[in-house]
Amino acid sequence: MTSALERPEIADAPPEAGTAASVPPGIDLRKLAERKVVPLRHPLRWVVTALVLVLLLNFGQTLFTNPSWEWQKVGQWLFSPAILKGLQLTLLATAISAVVSFAGGIVVALARLSGNPVLSTLSWLYIWLFRSVPLILVLIFLFNLGNLYPTVGIGVPFGPQWAVPTFTVLSPLVLGVIGLSLSEIAYSAEVVRAGILAVDQGQLEAAKALGIPSRRQFSRIVLPQALRSIVPAYVNQIIGLIKASSLLFYVSLLDLFGVVQNLGSTYPTDIIPLLVVATIWYLVLTSAISIVQFYIERFYARGSVRELPLTPLQRVRRRLAGIRSTVQGNTLA
């Protein structure tokens, strides 16, 4: 405590220019200051990378050397009519369900957020029910709807009724899409609700203060801002939906997975190539959606970032332009 007081000459001595406590003697710090600072090296990173690469290459090698992969057959099956038909059904069921559940999700989310206690309780119950019941159960339930309600129709309670047999209006595909949508709406409602809640309350206040009509407050001010956080979460949902659509196989609809399953039992020797074919198509679908996601997110990022991220194409162009200029520089030199 008192040492500083006892030795005031140390505390008061001004450091000589160009020196610091940690500098070894005989080194001129001023000179070092003119050179680029050497970044910290990470030798362990290189070791791990090498190890992983060796493992990957090992596996990669088996893709070519192990004859059981039967790549030739994969090529044969990949574009076969049966597979393409299954793919078409997967696409159709997913696309319709995705659109229906997004619209439905907005409705259920708005009901949940509304001041009306009946609506918000109903919406809560809906979400609770369809998030609790496994999709496969919902689907099988729907396919037995004919047993539960042999006819569907509308009428005055205890008065006249108009009805038709359930299976004449609802084809298996329609029932499948309804099943997928019913459970998907419950999830997307929560995604939409989270997005709406994430919008700053001041935005709604400003819209009210400007006298903007209620519906337009939502469509023009709140929703576009909510979409920024809704899109990544909802794309996640859609990717889940693509894979969930493989459950349609259990209610005798032949989607991509269903076709592969069927072909697998008809051609048991081709099971591996068939599974590879299904994997490839699911990868293609997911990749396509991820690309679309990038552009949608970029669109909704307008105004939230000072500069939009470059699209891959723009990035390639910049890179090429950079290479070109260095090449030119080199030839000139």
Partner 1 sequence: MTVAIDIHNATKRYGDKTVLKGVDLTVDAGTVTVILGPSGSGKSTLLRAINHLEKLDEGYVALNGELIGVRVHGDRLKERREKDILRQRAKIGFVFQNFNLFPHLTIIENVSEAPISQGVKAKDAREHARTLLARVGLADKEDAYPRQLSGGQQQRVAIARALALEPEVILFDEPTSALDPELVGEVLSVIRTLAGSGKTLIVVTHEIGFAREVADRVVFVDEGVIVEEGTPDDVLSNPRHRRTQDFLSKVLA
Residue numbers at the binding site for partner 1 (CB under 8 A): 200, 202-203, 205-214, 216, 220-221, 224-225, 228, 300, 302-306
CB of 300 to partner 1, least distance (A): 7
CB of 124 to partner 1, least distance (A): 24
What one-letter code names the amino acid at 196? I
CB of 226 to partner 1, least distance (A): 10
Which value, in Å, is the radius of gyration of the alpha carbons in the chain? 32
Residues whose CB is less than 8 angstroms from the CB of residue 270 and which lie 6 or more positions away in sequence, other chains included: 70, 73, 77, 263, 264
Of 221 and 251, nearer to partner 1 (C-beta) is 221
Nearest-angstrom CA–CA distance, 4 and 79: 84
Of 26 and 202, nearer to partner 1 (C-beta) is 202
Cβ atoms of 204 and 217 closer than 8 Å = yes
Of 151 and 203, nearer to partner 1 (C-beta) is 203
Partnered with residue 165 across adjacent β-strands are 151
Of 20 and 305, nearer to partner 1 (C-beta) is 305
Of 218 and 257, nearer to partner 1 (C-beta) is 218
Of 250 and 300, nearer to partner 1 (C-beta) is 300
Nearest-angstrom CA–CA distance, 82 and 63: 26
Of 156 and 210, nearer to partner 1 (C-beta) is 210
Of 13 and 305, nearer to partner 1 (C-beta) is 305
CB of 214 to partner 1, least distance (A): 6
CB of 207 to partner 1, least distance (A): 8
Nearest to 113 by CA among 228, 196, 230: 196
Nearest-angstrom CA–CA distance, 47 and 34: 33
Which one-letter DSSP state was computed for residue 249? G
Maximum CA pair distance of the chain?
107
Cβ atoms of 262 and 151 closer than 8 Å = no
Partnered with residue 162 across adjacent β-strands are 154
Q: Which residue has the tokens 């809560």?
A: 124
Q: What DSSP letter does each residue of 62-114 carry, written as one string?
A: HHHH-GGG-HHHHHHHHT-HHHHHHHHHHHHHHHHHHHHHHHHHHHHHHHHHS
CB of 301 to partner 1, least distance (A): 9
CB of 119 to partner 1, least distance (A): 16
Of 68 and 304, nearer to partner 1 (C-beta) is 304
Nearest-angstrom CA–CA distance, 135 and 237: 14
Token pair in block for residue 199: 């919008």
Residue 107 CA from chain centroid, whole number: 22
Nearest-angstrom CA–CA distance, 258 and 270: 15
